[in-house]
C-alpha cells in the first residue's frame, strides 16, 4: 500500500522506519487541507494527525483520488467529518490508547511546575539570580484535585494524584469501579468544579464539551484555582480564561493544547511575529505555562503510535474487524 503521511516530523519518520513493513510511505511536512490534498494523488491511503483537515471538501477530493482509508495517528477524531466519510465510503482508523501514562505524567509535570514555580526559578538562575523571593509555592499533599474525564489518560492521572497524597474527586458519565476502590470519589461536574484546588481536563472534544471551561463554569470554581488541559484546546474558551486570570479567579493555568493551535504548534516561529493576540496575551502571565502539544511525545508513545497505525493498515487490507476503526 502507498501511504501519504501528512503533518510529519522527523520523529514520525524515525518511529515508522524502525518497523518492518511492506508499504511505501511518503512523508509530507505540510498539513492536510483543501490546498494540499492533491499531494495524496497516486496513493492508496493517507495518514493524518490532530491538526489535519478532514472536512467534507477534503474527503470528497480524497474520494475522487480513489483513496478509501484514512489512518489517524492519534486518539481524537474531532477533526474528521464522520458523516462525510460515511457518504464517500472512506474508512477511518485511529490509535485510541498510546501510552496514556505519557500524557498523564505531562499533566502532573505542569501541576508541579506551576505549584512550585519551577519555570520562574529556572529563568532566574540563568540570569544568576539565586533569590527565593516570590518563589513560594504550595504543597500538593492534601489538596483536592478534580479530574474531568476518567478514561485511559484520566485514570492514569488519578493514580498519580493519589500517589501525591491528594484527595481525588472526578466526573465522568461512567464511573470506574477500580478507581472507586482506590479512593477516587465521583461527583457531579458542578461539585468537582466547586471544590477542587486543581482541575485537570481529560475529556474528548465533542459539541457538548466544547468550551466547557467558560465564564459560567469558572464562576463556580474556587478563587485561585489551577486549571490543567492536556486534552483538546477548545475545551477552554480562551477569552474567558484570560479575564479570569486578570481578576485572579484563576490562579494558575497549564495547557499543552490551545483552541487556535493549528497555525502555531509543531512549528518554529522564533523569527516570526505571532499574529494570535490571545496566545500572546496568555504568554505574558507569570502564572501560565504553555507547552506545544508535546504531552504525547515520548519514545515509547511514538513507537506505539507507529506500531498500531501499521497494524491498522494491515487490518484494513485483510478485512479484519478492529475497535480502532471509527467507521
Catalytic residues: 232, 261, 293
What is the C-alpha to C-alpha distance for residues 312 and 97, in angstroms, rounded to an integer? 13
Q: How far is CA 299 from the centre of its chain?
A: 17
How close are the terminal C-alpha atoms of the chain, in Å? 20
Residue 327 neighbours by CB distance under 10 Å: 14
| Residue 204 dihedral angles phi and psi, to the nearest 5° | -70, 165
Q: Are strands 288-290 and 198-201 parallel, antiparallel or unpaired?
A: unpaired
Q: In what order do the strands lie in the sheet with 69-72?
A: 24-27, 2-5, 45-48, 69-72, 91-93
C-alpha cell at 259: 483552541
Following DSSP, what letter does each residue of 178-205 receive, concatenated? Answer: HHHHHT-EE--HHHHHHH-SEEEE----
What is the C-alpha to C-alpha distance for residues 119 and 137, in angstroms, rounded to an integer? 12
The secondary element (H helix, E strand) that includes residue 171 is strand 167-171
What is the C-alpha to C-alpha distance for residues 160 and 107, in angstroms, rounded to an integer? 10
The beta-strand segments (E) located in 39-127 are 45-48, 69-72, 91-93
Q: How many residues does the chain have?
A: 327
What is the C-alpha to C-alpha distance for residues 224 and 96, in angstroms, rounded to an integer? 34
Amino acid at each position: 500500500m502507498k501511504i501519504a503521511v501528512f503533518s510529519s516530523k522527523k520523529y514520525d519518520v524515525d518511529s515508522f522506519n524502525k518497523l518492518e513493513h511492506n508499504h511505501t510511505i511518503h512523508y509530507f511536512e505540510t498539513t492536510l487541507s483543501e490546498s494540499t490534498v492533491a499531494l495524496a494523488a497516486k496513493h492508496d491511503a493517507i495518514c493524518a494527525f490532530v491538526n489535519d483537515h478532514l472536512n467534507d471538501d477534503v474527503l470528497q477530493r480524497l474520494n475522487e483520488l480513489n483513496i478509501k482509508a484514512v489512518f489517524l495517528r492519534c486518539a481524537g477524531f474531532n477533526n474528521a467529518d464522520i458523516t462525510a466519510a460515511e457518504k464517500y465510503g472512506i474508512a477511518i482508523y485511529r490509535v485510541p490508547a498510546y501510552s496514556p501514562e505519557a500524557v498523564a505524567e505531562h499533566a502532573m509535570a505542569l501541576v508541579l511546575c506551576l505549584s512550585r514555580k519551577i519555570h520562574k526559578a529556572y529563568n532566574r538562575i540563568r540570569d544568576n539570580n539565586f533569590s527565593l523571593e516570590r518563589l513560594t509555592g504550595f504543597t500538593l499533599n492534601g489538596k483536592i484535585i478534580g479530574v474531568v474525564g476518567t478514561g485511559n489518560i484520566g485514570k492514569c492521572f488519578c493514580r498519580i494524584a493519589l500517589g501525591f497524597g491528594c484527595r481525588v474527586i472526578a466526573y465522568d458519565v461512567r464511573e470506574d469501579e477500580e478507581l472507586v476502590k482506590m479512593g477516587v470519589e465521583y461527583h457531579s461536574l458542578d461539585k468537582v468544579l466547586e471544590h477542587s484546588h486543581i482541575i485537570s481536563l481529560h475529556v474528548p472534544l465533542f459539541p457538548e464539551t466544547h468550551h466547557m471551561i467558560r465564564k459560567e463554569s469558572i464562576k463556580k470554581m474556587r478563587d485561585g484555582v489551577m486549571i490543567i488541559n492536556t486534552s483538546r484546546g477548545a475545551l477552554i474558551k480562551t477569552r474567558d480564561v484570560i479575564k479570569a486570570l486578570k481578576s485572579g479567579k484563576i490562579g494558575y493555568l497549564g495547557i499543552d493544547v490551545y483552541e487556535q493551535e493549528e497555525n502555531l504548534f509543531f512549528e518554529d516561529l522564533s523569527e516570526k511575529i505571532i499574529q494570535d493576540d490571545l496566545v500572546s496575551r496568555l504568554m505574558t502571565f507569570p502564572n501560565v505555562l504553555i507547552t506545544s502539544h508535546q504531552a504525547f511525545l515520548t519514545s515509547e508513545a511514538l513507537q506505539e503510535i507507529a506500531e498500531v497505525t501499521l497494524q491498522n493498515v494491515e487490518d484494513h487490507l485483510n478485512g479484519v474487524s478492529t475497535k480502532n476503526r471509527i467507521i
